[in-house]
Amino acid sequence: MSHTSLRGVMNRLLDPTSTPPAEGEPLLLHGEGNHRIYWVGIRHATAFRCNTYLLIDGEEALLIDPGSRAFFPQVRESVARVVEPNRVMGLVLCHQDPDVAASLPDWLALNPRLTVFTSPRTQVLLPHYGVSGYRFYDVEAEPEYQLAGGGGLRFIGAPFLHSPMAFATFDQCSGALFSGDIFAAIDNSWQLVVTQWAAHTAKMDLFHLDYMASHVAAQGFARRLRELPLQAILPQHGSIIPHDFVPDAIGYLEQLQCGLDVLYPDLS
Ligand SMILES: [Fe+2]
Ligand SMILES: [Fe+2]
């Protein structure tokens, strides 16, 4: 396969003359050798739209933010255009919220041998979806993961953004950061990629001010991101943040006043 960098794909997606992809069609975001990333999210019109990402590395296929039960058939169909859904070998669950993790029983029914990549605090809650006994990979204990095709993932703790042991996933081959709810946006006029940063921050405010814990939590995570060669940020809601806006996005977190800062301004 020819090299399809995140940056190149972003430019193509932003081209107003390009044809929008058909309903249910996975979108290739990155492809280099045996390493590919697809967007397999939902197009259902809702302000709280959910993104799902399919990561292929050699023989290994992982789903990041697999999503809710309500949209499982849609995501499965989109995945099926790339790989057999029962070949999905892992789910990366950045926290336990139903919009991220409720399809866990459905994916396990397709492949009982798959591995769940998550934190211990999320792992104790996931059995409330009615499943247990699956393979569990502890992202806190082992923050570096070697993919079957030679690529690597790094799990980066994001405490209280918004869940106590939330984490983001950095893909070393592509430079993509799968950020879960962090950098999420609420938006009635959704597009896959951010084109205007200033307008986008208003959409991020709608999410971050209410969900994210505090300025300290946001600043601490931003400091961890500064060390990484990020090419793009791929959140669970809203639009993908391309390379040109990555510094702005980290700056957004560094100055963010949210959650407890807003609720108790006299105590901050
Ligand atoms: Fe959440
Ligand atoms: Fe979410």
pLDDT for 217: 98
Nearest ligand atom owner, CA of 49: 2
Task: Note whether 34 and 56 are within 8 A (CB).
Answer: yes
Number of helices followed by number of strands (H, E) in the chain:
9, 12
Nearest ligand atom owner, CA of 238: 2
Q: From the CA of 97, how far away is ligand 2's center (Å)?
A: 7
Q: From the CA of 17, how far away is ligand 2's center (Å)?
A: 31
Give the predicted TM-score (pTM) of the model.
0.95
- Partners of 57 in the β-ladder: 35, 60
| Nearest one of 209, 211, 213 to 201, comparing CA atoms | 209
What is the average pLDDT across 236-254? 97
Nearest ligand atom owner, CA of 158: 1
Per-residue pLDDT reduced to its tens digit, 209-229: 999 999 999 999 999 999 899
Q: From the CA of 181, how far away is ligand 1's center (Å)?
A: 6
Quote the Cα angle for 210-212-216, to 5°: 130
Q: Which domains are present in the chain?
A: 6-263 (3.60.15.10)
Q: How far is CA 132 from its chain centroid?
A: 24
Concatenating the DSSP letter of every residue in 209-230 gives HHHS--HHHHHHHHHHHTTS--
Q: What is the DSSP letter of 138?
A: E
